[in-house]
Amino acid sequence: MSDCIFCKIARGEIPSNFVYEDENVAAFNDVNPQAPVHVLVIPKKHIASSAAVDDSSVWSSLMSSAVKIARKLGLEENGYRMVINTGEQGGQSVPHLHLHLLAGRNLGWPPG
């Protein structure tokens, strides 16, 4: 997807400091953080949303990367939240699958 902003970040066409990267996944800080820690974990391959995932290895790479990042950032003791917004009512604003890793404050429940 040539005009997808997260594809551009994954390809390095938009400068970003990756918190984590491997062959399948990239992770970077959210530009509009909703918590002291707010990292986005994305597949490098373009997938429009969680609803479009047809290969379960996408989930293993996304989730295991998020847990690795949480360990690396020392978030385990106080806890963290992983969120994947999907579609319009799910609050998804960027049509490239991404996992939000949020931490550093008490997070409310239920979400808005």
Q: Which of residues 14-53 bind ligand AMP (CB under 6 A)?
A: 30-32, 40
Residues near 19 by Cβ (< 8 Å), separated by ≥ 6? Answer: 27, 28, 29, 39, 69, 72, 73
**96 belongs to the catalytic site:** no
Is there binding between residue 5 and ligand AMP (CB under 6 A)?
Answer: yes
Residues near 6 by Cβ (< 8 Å), separated by ≥ 6? Answer: 40, 42, 46, 94, 96, 98
Query: What is the radius of gyration, based on Cα positions, of the chain?
Result: 13
Task: Fill in the per-residue mask, 73 to 112: x = in contact with ligand AMP (CB under 6 A), - = not in contact.
Answer: ------------x-----xxxx------------------
Q: How far is the CB of 85 from ligand AMP (least distance, A)?
A: 3
* Residues forming the site for ligand AMP (CB under 6 A): 5, 30-32, 40, 85, 91-94
Catalytic residues: 98
